[in-house]
Amino acid sequence: MKNASILMIVGSALLLGLFVFPMWNIRLGAPQYPEPLGIDIHINGLQGESEFDIQNIDGLNHYIGMKVLPKPDEMWEFSVFPKVVLSMAAIGILIGALGLLGKISSVWFLAWFVIMGILGALGIYDFNLWLVDYGSDLDPNAILKLVNPDGTPMVYNPPLIGHKKLLNFDAFSYPRLGGIMLGIGMLFSLIAFFIGRKATLKAN
């Protein structure tokens, strides 16, 4: 149970990486952009991969009528997500510590993992809603109004994960270090549960 608890503490602490490193990244490359433009998605706001990338992406997006990328105070997520992540990290560390002291069983670790999983899924769902809205809620006076072969207006939401071709751009969407640390942290909590359970079963 000792090892399991330590793993739980470490796993929960890994969430704090989200306050330092970006969670997700969307990168746009095109022939005339040999150095691709990139958006780093942090839990508290968007940042250009290079200093002026946000401004330059907005500059390109205005042709197809996309809204400018949101500032931190324009999306509730950027104020709520940090609180949720901080709380979950604190709770995780707390139950890990209690586990270490033998006050609780490893089922708590599983419970933390499940809650974190639900929150994560909600977060991804919300992220996808935003991507779809951002890519399809277009200015009716846009300079370029493109339609699909079937006549429906073309939408420009980048992929949730992976690659997608958007006009002349190749869009790539992948987790970055903060997001990877979150994933590893959650994995640790699950492993912590199994190790803890095994230890308990053995003891009995």
Partner 1 sequence: MKTFIKINTLLIACMAFIATSCNQGGDSSNGALSSNIAEKVYVAPGERDEQYAFLSGGYSGNLTVYGLPSGRMFKEIPVFSQFPTSGYGYSEETKPMLNTSFGFIPWDDLHHPDISQTNGELDGRWIFANGNNTPRIARISLSTFETEEIIEVPNSAGNHSSSFITENTEYVVAGTRFSVPVPQRDMPIKEYKENFKGALTFIAVEPEHGHLDIKFQLLMPGFNYDLSHPGRGKSHGWFFFSTYNTEEANTLLEVNASQNDKDFIAAVNWKKIEEYVNNGGGKKMPAKYAHNVYDESTHTATSTMKDEVLTVDPSEVPGAIYFLPTPKSPHGCDVDPSGQYIIGAGKLSADITVHSFDKMLAAIDAGNFDGDAYGIPIIKYEDVVAGTVQSGGLGPLHTEFDGKGNAYTTFFISSEVVKWKLETWEVVDRQPTFYSVGHLMIPGGNSRKPHGKYLVAMNKITKDRYLPTGPEMEHSAQIYDISGEKMQLLYDFPTHGEPHYAAGCDADLLMNNSKKIYRIDENMHPYAIKSPSEAKVVREGKDVHIYMSTIRSHFTPDNIEGVKVGDKVYFHITNHEQDFDVPHGFSMIGQGTSEILVMPGQTKTSLWEPKRVGVWPFYCTDFCSALHQEMQGYIRVSPANSNIELSWSLDE
Residues making contact with partner 1 (CB under 8 A): 35, 51-52, 55-56, 59, 63, 143
- 3 state SS of 139: coil
Based on CB atoms, which residue is closest to partner 1, 63 or 125? 63
Residues 185, 8 contacting (CB under 8 angstroms): no
Closest approach of Cβ 39 to partner 1, in Å?
15
Closest approach of Cβ 32 to partner 1, in Å?
9
Can you give the length of the chain in residues? 204
Closest approach of Cβ 57 to partner 1, in Å?
10
Based on CB atoms, which residue is closest to partner 1, 52 or 125? 52
Closest approach of Cβ 111 to partner 1, in Å?
49
Based on CB atoms, which residue is closest to partner 1, 5 or 61? 61
Based on CB atoms, which residue is closest to partner 1, 59 or 102? 59
Closest approach of Cβ 54 to partner 1, in Å?
10
Instruction: List phi, psi (to 5°) of 81.
Output: -55, -45
Based on CB atoms, which residue is closest to partner 1, 62 or 67? 62
Closest approach of Cβ 134 to partner 1, in Å?
20
- 3 state SS of 160: coil
Based on CB atoms, which residue is closest to partner 1, 3 or 55? 55
Q: Assign residue 48 a region: left if phi > 0, alpha if psi is -120 to 50, beta otherwise?
A: beta
Q: Where are the alpha helices (DSSP H) in 65-176?
A: 77-100, 107-136
Using CA atoms, how far residue 25 sits from 48, 64, 75, 176, 178, in Å, is 10, 22, 18, 6, 10
Report the number of secondary-structure helices (H) and strands (E) in the chain.
5, 5
Residues 142, 167 contacting (CB under 8 angstroms): no
